[in-house]
Structure 1
């Protein structure tokens, strides 16, 4: 029998990704192709996806925000990603209650879902809009706000649980605004794979991802070493909170509400001129 070609994939070292892919990455998913893993932060994987056919990876974890630029070459898998409720990006300030009109805001990327949610919030809530937007590495944002180098910072993931350690205040929750105005869950990170793999292989990848998620739920302790090894010295309790927030029923299957959330985000963002218009068939089944 011919050896099965490994699936070259890149995802972040964040606890939700290592939790989701632990079983598959360790050859524990029956019948799944081997997974050849590279760890990369999502701003890196977004850029890799934009290379299209020249991307060296078969499968990537990316921001939903980057989909309008990459869906000609990549298919959205219906599982493995991050989408939920009560898990949106936060806008933090040193001084509680300040107006952000004309103020400087630090963001981790301008091609992130967090940035789209922030821009949609600002369009509705900040008279005259914010001032300069600066891109900083994620780990530099909270110190920059604390030290007064920027007026506010947009943060994601574990910063929801740690920002008070920097003496910061939550000015607004982008997810709360999104859920209140749309009644939809919050789309954050997507799993995509090259369309050139063909329908049969893409279906197999989706099933392997779904099985890996379910195996992680069935035996959470099995993945603990892998999660903490790559969690960048994160407190284990914070890692557990991270997983509990970002790995949910939408990780196993986007479902009707999940797809509606993705379409809603990208349609609204396109109306604000933040992304190209989404082709009506762009989220078509692979």
Structure 2
């Protein structure tokens, strides 16, 4: 059997979770070849049907479920792991003072905002949170370029994901809103960030892909040292302690299985977004 194409991000949560599958260490799993790309590129690849297994934003599902099915394992969903809205320290302090406190979307009125992609979960949450607030502009940047752009004054604010939660103070930035805290306070549910999809037209001979992915995540938890070199090789020069914090935050029980609570979180996010006409209704059930 020719290897399946697996497309994931180079971020530590993905390389940690998929190390065993990528290296043929999951019994009974099909062989895979790995393509790395940032989340905005992965969403586009999935829209073009380029990959057999692909990591995408949950926000992109309404455009993808006609061709792909959601796997119950391997994704990123949890608590305390939401996107942040960042500003330079002086500007952020000034805007918070004007609006009466952090977390108020009015802090972005008239702001130039950099985001990691228009079909990312981060941006969907941003649109739900900031409904009715007129920003000056929205531009897409690779996620690793957002904080330098805000620090250097090219943008007033940046919407950040991944390890930026741990590193933004070193850029002289402050968080003016934690969209994960906002979501959890509004719904009581965990925040759905990244999903793993499999093509619907794969031959039956590939076996249980959900089980294969679950086996890879389980292997990562069973021996954290096995993936360490591969994770660090793709971690874009992150400090080892940041890599560990990233994995601890984004790879958890929901990565083994979404379960009823995980599915409920995804359905709530996409249901709210569809009601607000931000995404189309889901074309097929999630499970």
Q: TM-score, normalised by structure 1?
A: 0.92
Distance 1:278 1:200 in 2: 28
Distance 2:277 2:136 in 1: 17
- 1:96 matches 2:92: yes
Distance 1:88 1:155 in 2: 9
What's the offset of the Cα at 1:259? 0.5
- 1:117 matches 2:107: no
Change (3 A) 1:32 1:128: closer
> Quick check: 1:113–1:188 contact (8 Å CA) kept in 2?
yes
Runs of 4+ in 1 over 2 A off after TM superposition: 127-131, 198-201
Unaligned runs of 5+ in 1: none
What's the offset of the Cα at 1:128? 3.6
Q: 2:275 aligns with which of 237, 251, 271?
A: 271
> Quick check: 1:91–1:172 contact (8 Å CA) kept in 2?
yes
Q: Which residue does the alignment assign to 2:59?
A: 65
- 1:283 matches 2:283: no
- 1:108 matches 2:116: yes
Q: Which residue does the alignment assign to 2:75?
A: 81
Unaligned runs of 5+ in 2: 96-106
Distance 1:165 1:255 in 2: 37
- 1:159 matches 2:167: no
Q: Which residue does the alignment assign to 1:38?
A: 35
What's the offset of the Cα at 1:12? 0.8
Q: TM-score, normalised by structure 2?
A: 0.91
Q: What does 1:137-156 align with in structure 2 at a 5 Å threshold? A: 137-156=142-161
Residues 187-244 of structure 1: per-residue CA shift (max 9 Å, x gap): 000000101125674x611101101111110100111001001111111110100000
- SS of the residue 2:230 aligns to: helix
> Quick check: 1:72–1:282 contact (8 Å CA) kept in 2?
no
> Quick check: 1:122–1:130 contact (8 Å CA) kept in 2?
no
> Quick check: 2:65–2:282 contact (8 Å CA) kept in 1?
no
What's the offset of the Cα at 1:282? 3.0
Residues 90-111 of structure 1: per-residue CA shift (max 9 Å, x gap): 0001123412112111111111
Q: What does 1:181-260 align with in structure 2 at a 5 Å threshold? A: 181-197=186-202, 201=206, 204-260=208-264
Distance 2:142 2:11 in 1: 15
- SS of the residue 1:220 aligns to: coil
Change (3 A) 1:218 1:92: same
Distance 1:139 1:36 in 2: 25
What's the offset of the Cα at 1:6? 1.8
Matched length: 273
Q: Which residue does the alignment assign to 1:129?
A: 134
How big is the alpha-carbon RMSD for the aligned residues of Structure 1 and Structure 2?
1.4
